Amino acid sequence: MNKSIFQTFLLFFLLVFSTILKAENYPHRSDVLWITNPNHSDWIYKTNEKAKVSVSLYHYGILLDTLTVKYSVAPELMEEVQSGVAHIKNGIVTIDVGTLKYPGFLDLSLKVQLGGEEFKHHIKVGFDPDKLTAYTKYPSDFDSFWKAAKEKADQCPMVVEKTFIPEYSSDKVNCYLVKIQAYEKSSCVYGYLTMPNKKGKFPVVFSPPGAGIKPMNPLKDIFYAESGFIRFDMEIHGIRPNLDKQTYDEISRAFGNKNNSYLVNGLDNKDNYYMKKVYLSCLRVIDYLTTLPEWDGKNIIAQGGSQGGALALITTALDSRITACAANHPALSDMARYKMGRAGGYPHLFTKFEGMDTPEKLNTLQYYDVVNFARNINVPVFMTWGFNDNTCPPTTSYIVYNTLNTQKEALIMPVTEHWISLTTRHSILDWIRTQLK
Confidence band (pLDDT; 50, 70, 90) for 1? very low
The answer to whether 89 and 77 are in contact (CB under 8 A) is: no
114: containing domain:
3-131
Instruction: Determine the Cα–Cα distance for residues 114 and 93; give it in Å rounded to an integer.
Output: 17
> 80 lies in a domain?
yes
State which of 73, 107, 131 marks the end of a domain: 131
Domain at 180, CATH number: 3.40.50.1820
Residues 346 and 223 in one domain: yes
Which residue numbers are catalytic? 306, 389, 418
Instruction: Determine the Cα–Cα distance for residues 99 and 108; give it in Å rounded to an integer.
Output: 12
Residues 251 and 284 in one domain: yes
The pLDDT assigned to 29 comes to 77
> 174 lies in a domain?
yes
pLDDT in tens, 83-107: 999 999 999 999 999 999 999 999 9
> Do the bridges between strand 202-207 and strand 230-235 make them parallel or antiparallel, or are there none, so unpaired?
parallel
Residues 117 and 166 in one domain: no
The pLDDT assigned to 11 comes to 38
**Cβ atoms within 10 A of the Cβ of 400, count?**
31
The pLDDT assigned to 303 comes to 98
pLDDT in tens, 167-217: 999 999 999 999 999 998 889 999 999 999 999 999 999 999 999 999 999
**143-147, 257-261, 388-392, range with the lowest pLDDT:** 257-261
Mean pLDDT of 210-228: 95
Mean pLDDT of 276-301: 98
Please report the DSSP string for 248-265 in residue order: HHHHHHHHSSGGGSGGGT
Residues 87 and 173 in one domain: no
State which of 110, 131, 152 marks the end of a domain: 131
The tally of domains found in the chain comes to: 2
> 136 lies in a domain?
no
Mean pLDDT of 369-378: 98
